[in-house]
Amino acid sequence: MERKIKILIVDDEKEICELVKSYFIRRGYDVFTANSGMQAIGLINENNPQILLLDKIMPDMTGIELLQIVRAFDQDIKVIMISGDELDEETKLQIKELGVFDYLNKPVIISLLYAAVIKLVSLLLNE
């Protein structure tokens, strides 16, 4: 039996989470959502998602802070970071060191997000 790829969407905007979740569920993915960094940590521990769609700016911690915590116990999760602001050189270096696969600007064009996820899935299937 083929296992479903699990995706965790972390964004403080609930509407974005629900929209992206329904899009990926319709395409056969197992999708979870979190609206804060702390909630995301719990869901990662419970569900072991292979892909993390991560907002950079959230109220309780930044996406980068969350990813630093996650990398302490999960080196394998694939990450696409999403943000409404431009990245400075220091941040670009930081997310590269944390193993962020791709970075997309908000508002996200869902077809571009889907294309990035497809690339990650092919990486996962070839590991």
Strands 51-55, 78-83: pairing is parallel
Is 118 within a domain?
Answer: yes
8 Å CB contact between 20 and 107: no
Question: Can you tell me the distance from the alpha carbon of 9 to that of 53, in angstroms, rounded to the nearest whole number?
Answer: 5
Is 70 within a domain?
Answer: yes
Question: Can you tell me the distance from the alpha carbon of 82 to that of 104, in angstroms, rounded to the nearest whole number?
Answer: 5
Beta strands across the sheet bearing 78-83:
30-34, 6-10, 51-55, 78-83, 100-105
pLDDT tens-place string over residues 28-50: 999 999 999 999 999 999 999 99
Collapsing DSSP to helix, strand or coil, 21 comes out as: helix
Question: Residue 46: which CATH number?
Answer: 3.40.50.2300
Kindly tell me if the per-residue pLDDT of 13 is higher than 80.
yes
Could you tell me how many residues make up the chain?
A: 127
> What is the average pLDDT across 21-32?
97
pLDDT tens-place string over residues 79-117: 999 988 888 999 999 999 999 999 999 999 999 999 999
Q: What is the pTM of this model?
A: 0.95
Could you tell me the residue range of the domain that residue 119 belongs to? 6-125
Is 1 within a domain?
Answer: no
